[in-house]
């Protein structure tokens, strides 16, 4: 198992698309798949082949047309699912079949209605079947974080024995804390024969807002593949966000000294492409790619960033594909930001005139939530007419 390499497994086209409002057409999935390949993801989970004829066709198209990443299809631990998945990815440069079967007692009893022994037998049998179609088989014990640890070890051991090359330990319902999740990976590595020979993978949901934190904790505990989505879309509260994991590894290389294949400058463009494809974009305060991620309104922050961006920015906007940071003018803004914006608009004010403009600006900002360039132009023009700003000069470009 590579010790210093993190593999990014993107499931935007599968788990992400399953969330309400995120359905994509065949062409939209194919276009996004090409962009994800350009971003540098290692594995593309293109869909769930048995789910529909449309999903099968989309997976097949991605497998045939997209080169670079491995292309995977999800499959339940059932013969018909595995055969359908194998058919969907057969034209891929590097195909993968991703088999899953629930392992927690609550899922076995109430959803599958089978015993632990039956689950063990089914997992081993279906992983072995998948290996007859592909050399690369991933196995996921669904709801791993609520599974009895001893049984989870048996379950994982059975899958490895049957030929699984990647073992994914999903926090299916977003239940784990970082300590819980990291501990589970340590248990598997310590107790399961052969675990050191396969790649261990994360798959975290954000029901408690801990998906990225859990993923990063698991990396430190030995996981080397991370399953994630662009903008964190996915079932319920979503999945671990690819851009947040990638940025954390980059910015905190002292804690995460691992290589990966991503081109971080493509993160924002891909995020924007996804937002234009589905029915909603990233929240404004979303880390890394949100509209406010590199925006500053507080006067102290604005003064610091204008002096040196590192005062309040731990990474540059351009490093993740954002064109530039953004100074938002509002009632919290200071003179420095106002002077900078007026300078951009072509106005040069003396210190005395800036004081006059700033007082007028704060009065306006108390009445308006957002101040636009035209507001500033109108403000300066008003005071010019009333001869308050007698030394104002304008330049045109």
Tell me: pLDDT of 303 over 80: no
Q: Quote the mean pLDDT of the chain.
A: 89
pLDDT of residue 251: 94
Is residue 311 very low, low, confident or very high in pLDDT (cuts 50, 70, 90)? Answer: low
Q: What is the DSSP string of 258-323?
A: -B----GGGHHHHHHHHHHHSS----TT-TTTSTTTTEE-SHHHHHHHHH-GGGT-SS-GGGGT--
Are the CB atoms for 178 and 214 separated by under 8 Å? yes
- What are the residue ranges spanned by the domains of the chain? 7-277, 295-394
Tell me: pLDDT of 391 over 50: no
Query: Which among 190, 236, 238 is positioned nearest to 215, based on CA atoms?
Result: 238
Q: Which position has the token pair 């590579």?
A: 2
Tell me: pLDDT of 92 over 60: yes
Higher pLDDT, 364 or 59: 59
Tell me: pLDDT of 300 over 60: no
Query: Which among 190, 101, 181, 185 is positioned nearest to 137, based on CA atoms?
Result: 101
Tell me: pLDDT of 126 over 50: yes
Query: How is residue 112 annotated by DSSP?
Result: I
The Cα–Cα gap between 268 and 276 comes to: 12
Structure tokens at 177: 């804390």
The Cα–Cα gap between 116 and 103 comes to: 8
pTM of the model: 0.83
Q: What is the CATH code for 7-277?
A: 3.20.20.70
The Cα–Cα gap between 310 and 61 comes to: 44
In Å, what is the CA distance from 128 to each residue of 78, 121, 139?
12, 11, 11
The Cα–Cα gap between 44 and 245 comes to: 17
Q: Which position has the token pair 């030929």?
A: 163
Structure tokens at 61: 């198209």
Start-to-end C-alpha separation, the chain: 58
pLDDT of residue 301: 54
Least trusted range by pLDDT, from 90-104, 259-273, 358-372: 358-372
């Amino acid at each position: 198992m590579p010790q210093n390499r993190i593999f990014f497994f993107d499931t935007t086209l599968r788990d992400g698309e399953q969330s309400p409002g995120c359905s994509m057409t065949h062409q939209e999935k194919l276009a996004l798949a090409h962009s994800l390949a350009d971003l540098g993801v290692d594995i593309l989970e293109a869909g769930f082949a048995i789910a529909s004829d449309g999903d099968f066709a989309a997976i097949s198209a991605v497998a045939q047309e997209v080169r670079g990443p491995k292309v995977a299809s999800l499959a339940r631990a059932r013969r018909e699912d595995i055969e359908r998945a194998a058919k969907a990815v057969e034209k891929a440069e590097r195909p993968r079949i991703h088999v899953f079967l629930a392992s927690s007692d609550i899922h076995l009893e109430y959803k599958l209605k089978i015993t632990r022994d039956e689950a063990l037998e089914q997992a081993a049998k279906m992983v072995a079947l998948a290996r007859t179609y592909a050399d690369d088989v991933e196995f996921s014990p669904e709801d791993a974080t609520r599974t009895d640890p001893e049984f989870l070890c048996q379950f994982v051991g059975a899958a490895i024995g049957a030929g699984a090359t990647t073992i994914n330990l999903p926090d299916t319902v977003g239940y784990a804390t970082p300590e819980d999740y990291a501990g589970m990976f340590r248990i598997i590595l310590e107790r399961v024969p052969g675990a050191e020979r396969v790649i261990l993978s994360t798959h975290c949901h954000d029901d408690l807002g801990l998906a990225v934190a859990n993923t990063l904790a698991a990396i430190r505990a030995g996981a080397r593949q991370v399953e994630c989505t662009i903008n964190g879309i996915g079932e319920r509260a979503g999945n671990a966000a690819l851009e947040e994991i990638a940025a954390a590894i980059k910015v905190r290389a002292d804690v995460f000294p691992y290589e990966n294949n991503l081109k971080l400058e493509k993160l924002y463009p891909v995020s924007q492409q996804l937002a234009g494809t589905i029915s909603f974009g990233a929240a404004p305060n979303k880390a890394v790619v949100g509209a406010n991620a590199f925006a500053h309104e507080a006067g102290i922050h604005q003064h610091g960033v204008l002096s040196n961006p590192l005062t309040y920015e731990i990474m540059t906007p351009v490093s993740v594909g954002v064109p530039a940071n953004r100074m938002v003018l509002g009632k919290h803004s200071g003179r420095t930001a106002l002077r900078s914006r007026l300078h951009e608009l072509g106005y040069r004010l003396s210190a005395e005139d800036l004081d006059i403009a700033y007082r007028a600006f704060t009065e306006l900002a108390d009445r308006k939530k957002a101040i636009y360039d035209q507001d500033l132009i109108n403000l300066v023009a008003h005071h010019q007419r009333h001869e308050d700003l007698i030394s104002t000069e304008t330049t045109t470009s």
